[in-house]
A and B are shown apart, each in its own frame.
Chain A
Amino acid sequence: GESVGLHLPTLSVQEGDNSIINCAYSNSASDYFIWYKQESGKGPQFIIDIRSNMDKRQGQRVTVLLNKTVKHLSLQIAATQPGDSAVYFCAENPNTGNQFYFGTGTSLTVIP
């Protein structure tokens, strides 16, 4: 099976600081990646995606970086807010596959 893992299971940051959540993936054939945010009792919410032909993609307060050489993905959240507290998952899709593989998740806690 696929292996999508996160380096840090928990992360605490001060409100207003920047957050970085990391993800390692194992399948070099993966060409599409998504970051999801999941709050308690809710389903995963799409944040941002990136395809393998890109190294960086920016959204509103979020940036995703993709390093295909070391098979590493990161999510940067600028000026972290209390509402950003949640579990964050990275998901990968190999170009031959029908499914997305999810990591275990990183729990982000924002300290007011």
Chain B
Amino acid sequence: GAGVSQTPSNKVTEKGKYVELRCDPISGHTALYWYRQSLGQGPEFLIYFQGTGAADDSGLPNDRFFAVRPEGSVSTLKIQRTERGDSAVYLCASSVTGPASPLHFGNGTRLTVT
């Protein structure tokens, strides 16, 4: 079946601009996660949704970052006033129920802020 889909695969933006990254999880998965991965590092947690609500947003670095999942399926990660330090691969994952089940990742969106 279809896996987690993320669009765009690459995004180049100028410092100060606003960007939206989209994640389409595996159908039926109630849990959705956003992680960020810098070069040579493991993924770092940003936010976790259970259904439509953000169950844990403790990983969001600051208030420039926001994510929504209005219908409990597709999620959008929004970054305002982008900074060069935001450059990374943003990974989305979904799981059947949440932290007690495996995360299945998409291929990520590579964000480059110039």
Structural contact, B103 and A46, CB atoms closer than 8 A: yes
Chain B residue with Cβ nearest A43: B105
A4 to B45, CA, bound (A): 13
The stretch of B11-19, B36-44, B71-79, B80-88 in contact with A is B36-44
A104 to B40, CA, bound (A): 7
Q: Kindly list chain B residues whose C-beta atoms are within 8 Å of the C-beta of A89.
A: 42-43
Chain A positions 20 through 56: 1 when the CB is less than 8 Å from some CB of chain B, otherwise 0: 0000000000001010100001111110010000000
What is the interface size of chain B, counting residues whose CB is below 8 A from a CB of the partner?
26
Q: Kindly list chain A residues whose C-beta atoms are within 8 Å of the C-beta of B70.
A: none
Q: Kindly list chain B residues whose C-beta atoms are within 8 Å of the C-beta of A91.
A: 42, 103
- Residues facing B in A46-99 (CB within 8 A) are 46, 49, 89, 91, 93, 97-99
Q: Kindly list chain B residues whose C-beta atoms are within 8 Å of the C-beta of A100.
A: 45, 99, 103
Chain B residue with Cβ nearest A49: B102
Q: Kindly list chain B residues whose C-beta atoms are within 8 Å of the C-beta of A46.
A: 102-104
Choose from A4, A43, A93 the contact partner of B4 (Cβ within 8 Å): A43
Q: Kindly list chain B residues whose C-beta atoms are within 8 Å of the C-beta of A99.
A: 33, 45, 48, 56, 58-59, 99
A98 to B59, CA, bound (A): 11
B91 interface residue per 8 A CB criterion = yes
B25 interface residue per 8 A CB criterion = no
Structural contact, A43 and B48, CB atoms closer than 8 A: no
Choose from B4, B41, B45 the contact partner of A104 (Cβ within 8 Å): B41
Structural contact, A34 and B107, CB atoms closer than 8 A: no
Q: Give me 20 other A-B pairs in contact (C-beta within 8 A), A32-B100, A44-B91, A105-B41 excluded.
A: A4-B42, A32-B99, A36-B105, A41-B107, A43-B93, A43-B106, A43-B108, A44-B105, A46-B103, A46-B104, A89-B42, A91-B103, A93-B100, A99-B33, A99-B56, A99-B59, A102-B43, A103-B42, A104-B42, A105-B40
Q: Which residues of B contact A (CB under 8 A)?
A: 4, 33, 35, 40-45, 48, 55-56, 58-59, 91, 93, 98-100, 102-108
